[in-house]
A and B are shown apart, each in its own frame.
Chain A
Amino acid sequence: MPPKYHIKTAQAPNRFQAITRSGVIAWEEGCLKCPRCVKKDCVYQVYEKRGLEARQMLDSLDTACKDCFRCVQGCPNKLIQKGLNPQYKALGDHYWTPEIISVLWSQAESGRIPVSGAGYGGPFSGPGFDAMWTDMSEIVRPTRDGIHGREYISTTVDLGRKVMALEFDAGGKITTTVPPLVEIPLPIIFDILPWSPPRRQITLAFLEAARALGTFAVVRQSEMNAAIEEHLSNVVLWVDGAVNDLTDELLKTLSLIEIPDGDHVMEMQRLLKEKNPKAIVFIRMELNPTASERVIWLTQEGAEVFHLVANEYGLEKGEDPLFIKERMREIHGSLVEKGLRDEVTLIASGGIAMAEHMAKIILCGADALGVDIPLLVAMECRVCRRCKEGVACPVELEGVDPAWGAGRIKNLMAAWHNQLLEVLGAMGIREARRLRGEMGRAMFFEDLEKEVFAPMGKRV
């Protein structure tokens, strides 16, 4: 058994104070100067440790308060109130919600998985990934040790094309050429960002984290520079320019190259593989209503890996777009039907915002996934998208220290890894590879609603 995959975490403090959901409003006027002020009784000692963060003018009271309301209820003159923070509400948008952003921040800071008391407090279900639940097994599964101790749950996946059977000549020698395969210990690669401030430092942080984690980051050909070339063993080169501009020397050092889908895509794949037979070529394709036919055709033509991309909201191209999990289910299903599924690798990107999305997209048929915006959020991005308009980043991401950034990303990935183990463990699955397309271990909102709620009021 290979050594257990473990991501080392270390506290990586915020550079800017996090924006919290609510704040404490405490008036001084009318204060009775109680000899035994409720502020002294705070279980979390937030008043004793109070401080002002001068750069942002944020009161530590707001970040440290845990909403127990003891002071609100205890102050004789009712001088203490809690109020919702409008800045928090304004974070992100309908998809990248303030809750998602703040939970990503805390995982990146601590490396720990979010744990809390009391039951789930969110909506019953929702669109997209919130319209499914994952399974559990009452009696048969790895023990809890699998998650925190001795037993082994593997999150390793393979990228590349697989042969379904080996062929031998009369002399018993293998005649099949086995295509190259890359293993990553975590089913995640780092994808191109839909928007960001100038990326020089950010990309270095991604690559440094990718190296530590044993995975890869997609880097644009147009962005290559000497600093990035230090990290080639963790680069998926995105050929966004002319292939001829790439030196043979560079092509030979790369193990993963990504090319856009297009009329001559298979020719381009052949050309690249001639130059470097050990390289694996990803075909990047924007998800769309005809993606599954295209994937089948290209698979039959010899494609190795598909990188299927939705937009940052998880939506495909076209009018009335499907959500990524729906389209992935269709593509996976039609490959299974054609008997081709095990030959190719599917990587899904776009709208992956939480650890649960990782487990869910794999359940819906992806072998691995690409993560983008959460990596920026790990480095305190507020998803304000001002950078898209060329306005300065409020958390100064263009100047981020790559070592600190990589530490934050490692923390986030460690938390995601552990959460994947929780989900796998609950199902009694010991391998992320086996989770792929296991739709019998998923429960979908539409199915359950149709079965259970739709007939209500109509039965006799």
Chain B
Amino acid sequence: MSFQEVTGIYPKAKKVPSRFRHALGKHRITITGACNNCGLCITLCPYGVYKAGARRPKVIAEHLCLGFSCCENAFYCVSRCPVQAISLQLNPSFECLGDKRWTADLLASAWHMAETGQVPYQGLNYKIGDAGGGFDKIRFIFPKKGSKEIPDMEISTAIELNRSGDSRPKVSIPLPFYLGGMSFGSVSIVTMLARVRAAQALGTFCCTGEGGYPEELIPYDDHVITQVATGLFGVREETIKRVRIVEFKYAQGAKPGLGGHLLGDKVTPAVAAMREAISGSALFSPFPFHSVYSVEDHKKHVDWIKEINHKALVAVKVSTPTDVDMVAVGSFYAGAHIVQLDGSYGGTGAAPDIAKKNIAMPIEYAIPKVHTFLQAEGIRDKITIIASGGIRTAYDMAKIIAMGADGVCLGTADLVALECIRCHHCESGRGCARGIATTDPALTKLMEIEWATQRIINMYLAWQHQLTDILKHLGMRSVTELVGRFDLLAHLDYIKPEEVEGELN
């Protein structure tokens, strides 16, 4: 099934530039006073870096500049400038951006995809980060030359979420991902709506997180996953009845075993009303479910949801402890359709650093363990495994599928598309200074819904192109053929390029 067949629509990428005056890029261009405003650079540059100005051209989009590798081109403005007024440098601020997992290159790549819907051409590494292990050390082994090329339209990136064979509806999504839970309170209503609307446009789902079901989401019911988490904030019968997928959140990868904590500052009257709490006072989401102390209790939970909504699929979100394989088996026997494994390097609005770094295992270990174990149990085909917690790129997504997941759940990547800069200060004061993870009325206004929706759509369309490309290279017609293909992956620490037949990428 192609993307179009599943969605019946084909969302298109539209140019959506940065909402800030200057987008951040790798390079910095300066035009000196020697400029005679001849306008040659404006005519030459195919990327639209310059715009006409009164005294000299204006540099309006440094981030679109090809950089030093442009020197080979006939249109290289620096050498073509008749008065040598243009100089190109690395942007000094760029090296302050990002971290080992989300490098400045990955951030800028995501921004580029969100702006244009295309993969970046500026020499940015958009495939891996600099974490020195896991995804960043794993490469696909692509056959040296593809046999016969499969046309894009014949390659399906769709997956089925209900594989149980029960009487509940089949739910297909055209891309192997949905968007993870971020509660109203931890992010603004604009962020929340943009994510849900993007999910609708892409034919997939977006989870509400644990903070209630704002009325603004009702038009998008068919693309909402509502979450039942330990605090039961905002959970009502009518919200459970409204949706096609209900998710139980047992644990979160960033703070496994620790529950949630919404700081008092973020509990505005609107948030409080939704959560049936008092504004200004901090809200704890306890750990664990006080009604669940065994797999049998867990089954009771799942049955309860199934009873309330006869059509909904049940997803179970868990973290990655050492016995993660047993947890997955338990979820299956309790009747879950989807088990989402949230790895330890996943996102959060606020969590103790000690938990984020140390508690539970990275998703790259958990998925292969669970996949292999469920295969041995003979139940792998009856349940959908969704991987989350540190999926940053289309390549990460493809790799984790090859490691045994059916699809992925995304969160941080969406926020980066909205120009999150990963300053790690979502939790302080009025919240996100860039207006994404905040409930502050003034900061919320920094972002418009249309703009934000399209940025997310753009980025994931670029992901879909990349995934299709990977499948094409591997000679596959469907992403479901990729599941569990460890033989197509190599970890650079354990395999030498000469041992591999094919090209590592």
Q: Which residues of A come within 8 Å of B, CB atoms?
A: 21-22, 25, 43-44, 66-70, 72-76, 78, 81-84, 103, 113-126, 133-141, 143-145, 147-148, 354-356, 359-360, 419, 422-423, 425-428, 440-441, 443, 448-449, 451-460
Contact = CB atoms under 8 A, between A and B. Distances in A.
Interface of B: 18, 20-24, 28, 92-93, 95-102, 130-134, 136-138, 141, 250-251, 254, 256-259, 284, 286-290, 292-294, 297-298, 318-319, 321-322, 327, 344-362, 364-365, 368-369, 389-390, 412, 420-430, 432-434, 437, 443, 486-491, 493-495, 499-500
A41 B207 CA distance: 33
Nearest to A72: B93
Contacts of A119: 101, 254, 345-348, 356, 389-390, 412
Contact of A70 (B345, B434, B499): B434
Nearest to A457: B490
Contacts of A82: 92-93, 96
A84 B96 contact: yes
Given A138-B318, A457-B486, A43 B443 contact: yes
A122 B99 contact: yes
A456 B251 CA distance: 29
Contacts of B132: 123-126
Contacts of A451: 365, 369
A258 B254 CA distance: 41
Contacts of B100: 121-123
Contacts of A456: 138, 486-487, 489-491, 494-495
7 contacts: A69-B93, A122-B101, A138-B318, A141-B257, A144-B284, A426-B256, A458-B487
Contacts of B254: 119-120
For the complex of A and B, 3 pairs with smallest distance between CB atoms: A117-B426, A124-B133, A426-B257
Given A69-B421, A121-B101, A123-B133, A43 B358 contact: no
B358 A356 contact: yes
Interface centre among B93, B292, B327, B365 (most CB of A within 10 A): B93
B70 to A, nearest CB: 20
Contacts of B412: 118-119
Contacts of A75: 21
Given A117-B437, A118-B426, A139-B292, A454 B22 contact: no
Contacts of B443: 43
Nearest to A66: B425
Nearest to B186: A117
A425 B493 CA distance: 35
Contacts of A83: 92-93, 96
Contact of B258 (A117, A126, A422): A422
A413 to B, nearest CB: 15
A140 B20 CA distance: 47
A448 B23 contact: no
Nearest to B446: A70
Contact of B257 (A69, A116, A425, A457): A425
Contacts of A76: 21
Given A44-B433, A144-B258, A422 B421 contact: no
A238 B200 CA distance: 69
B21 A453 contact: no
Contacts of A360: 358
B358 A139 contact: no
B92 A25 contact: yes
Given A81-B93, A116-B353, A133 B358 contact: yes
Contacts of B426: 116-118
B489 A457 contact: yes
A68 B292 contact: no
Contacts of A453: 137-138, 364, 491, 493-494
A447 to B, nearest CB: 10
Contacts of B428: 66, 117
B487 to A, nearest CB: 5
A124 to B, nearest CB: 3
A451 B490 CA distance: 14
A140 B423 contact: no
B96 A121 contact: no
A73 B21 contact: yes
Contacts of B433: 43-44, 66, 68, 70
Contact of A73 (B23, B257, B288, B356): B23
Nearest to B346: A119
Nearest to B343: A119
Contact of A125 (B24, B133, B390, B425): B133
A374 to B, nearest CB: 14
A125 B364 CA distance: 12
A113 B358 CA distance: 14
B455 to A, nearest CB: 16
Interface centre among A44, A73, A126, A454 (most CB of B within 10 A): A73
A68 B430 CA distance: 13
B356 to A, nearest CB: 4
A218 B22 CA distance: 57
A67 B101 contact: no
Nearest to B103: A121
B489 A44 contact: no
Nearest to B250: A138
Most chain B CB neighbours (cut-off 10 Å) among A21, A81, A138, A427: A138
Most buried by A among B131, B136, B137: B131
Contacts of A115: 350-353, 427
A18 to B, nearest CB: 16
A119 B344 CA distance: 9
Given A81-B92, A118-B412, A139-B294, 17 more contacts: A78-B22, A83-B93, A116-B351, A116-B353, A116-B424, A117-B350, A118-B426, A121-B424, A122-B131, A126-B132, A138-B250, A139-B250, A425-B287, A428-B257, A456-B489, A456-B494, A457-B486
Contact of A458 (B360, B424, B495): B495
